[in-house]
Amino acid sequence: MPHHRTVPRLVAPVAVLTLALTACGSADDGTDAERAAAPATSAPPSPSASAGGAMARGESATGKVDEVTYAVVAQRVDVGTRAQAAKAVADAADAEGRVPVVAHVAYTHKGGPDLTDGSGVRDRTAVFADGRRGAVLAGASEAAPGCEDPYGVGSWERGGRHVFCVTYLVPADATSVEVHWSPEGGEPYVWSFPGPDQQRGRG
């Protein structure tokens, strides 16, 4: 399975896509509920912390959210074009110099109670580019190929696995993209992928 692809298909109508207030220049690394209007404001955790840290490609992290233990792995990122970024927001100026990145992340229920009302595990995922947090496109990921709708998942038993995605706008000249996932009470785990600057056909 390739770890990055170009030009993801973002087919959700512009009306349901909203550019969150998270600035691309922010270095914050808190949890990021995609439907929230404001970004997290906590300081970035130390990369030398005993928990969390850099993950190898394909390596799973383990952490707990709401009494459930998950195995989490960032599978790949799909890099889109400047033209797609401009169409994804109400004001094209908000996307100037940026491209959309869809991060595909797999979450496996490893322990704890079975879920009957969905999960907030995806809300603790964010995308950074060259160490700076991107701007979230709320509602975009549900339309991307290979992504499940997290709000459509009700029952989730132990052993169950779902692939949820998050879509962010990042600078088109970024050399790396990092997918961050933060368990409760722990430092973020970080998977790194080639950035838009290393992709062709950015538009």
> In this predicted structure, what is the pLDDT of residue 199?
66
Neighbours of 163 (CB within 10 A): 15
The model's pLDDT over 175-196, given as tens digits with 9 standing for 90+, comes to 999 999 999 999 999 999 999 9
User: Residue 49 domain-assigned?
Assistant: no
Rounded to an integer, the average pLDDT of 160-177 is 96
Is residue 110's pLDDT more than 60? yes
Predicted TM-score (pTM) of this structure: 0.77
- Could you list the residue range(s) of the whole structural domain that residue 171 is in? 4-24+58-198
Sign of CA dihedral 41, 42, 45, 51: negative
Q: What CATH number is attached to the domain comprising 112?
A: 2.60.40.1240
User: Residue 32 domain-assigned?
Assistant: no
Q: Please answer whether residues 108 and 71 qualify as being in contact, where contact means their C-beta atoms are separated by less than 8 angstroms.
A: yes
pLDDT band at residue 104 using 50, 70 and 90 as cut-offs: very high
Of 55, 103, 105, nearest in space to 79 by CA: 103
Q: Highest mean pLDDT range out of 24-33, 50-59, 62-71, 137-146? A: 62-71
DSSP state of 188: P
Q: What percent of the chain has pLDDT over 70?
A: 72
User: Residue 52 domain-assigned?
Assistant: no
Lowest mean pLDDT among 40-54, 75-89, 103-117, 140-154: 40-54
Write phi, then psi, for 123 (nearest 5 degrees): -65, -10
Please tell me the distance from the alpha carbon of residue 86 to that of residue 11, in angstroms, as a whole number. Answer: 13
Of 203, 197, 129, 202, nearest in space to 168 by CA: 129
User: Residue 36 domain-assigned?
Assistant: no
> In this predicted structure, what is the pLDDT of residue 50?
37
Q: How many domains does the chain divide into? A: 1
User: Residue 29 domain-assigned?
Assistant: no
> In this predicted structure, what is the pLDDT of residue 35?
34
Q: Give Dmax (Cα) for the chain.
A: 46
Write phi, then psi, for 150 (nearest 5 degrees): -65, -25
User: Residue 45 domain-assigned?
Assistant: no
